[in-house]
Amino acid sequence: MRTDILIYILIMALITYLIRMLPLVVFRREIKSRFIKSFLYYVPYVTLSVMTFPAILTATGDIRSGLAGFAVALILSWKGLSLPAVAAGACLTVLLTGFIF
């Protein structure tokens, strides 16, 4: 095995360990700041959105159908529909726009 691959694996392991260890070291007491609490509350949602949004646009190979499905999902979720209904509506929209484009 090449040594550069081992170095990459070691760096990734170190970064992963630091990300998990630093909050335990830095925040030993309960966090009382409302700002920091609200910031930490939304971090998982933002991270999931940032990872998911590019995949939504590029999954079909045509950005237009991805945008159409995303727009329909936003509208359906804004109207308060359930997650399966929103997903089905977005998938159906992507399917139909895939035939058009």
Q: What is the tally of structural domains in the chain?
A: 1
Each residue of 25-37: pLDDT tens digit? 887 888 888 998 8
Mean residue pLDDT across the chain: 90
d(CA 90, CA 72): 6
Each residue of 14-60: pLDDT tens digit? 999 988 888 888 878 888 889 988 988 898 899 999 999 999 989 88
Q: Smallest Cα–Cα separation from 94: which of 73, 75, 74, 80?
A: 73
pLDDT of 74 reads 95
- Does the pTM surpass 0.75? The reply is no
In which domain, by residue range, is 13 found? 3-100
> Is the predicted pLDDT of residue 88 greater than 70, yes or no?
yes
Tokens at 81, concatenated: 């529909």
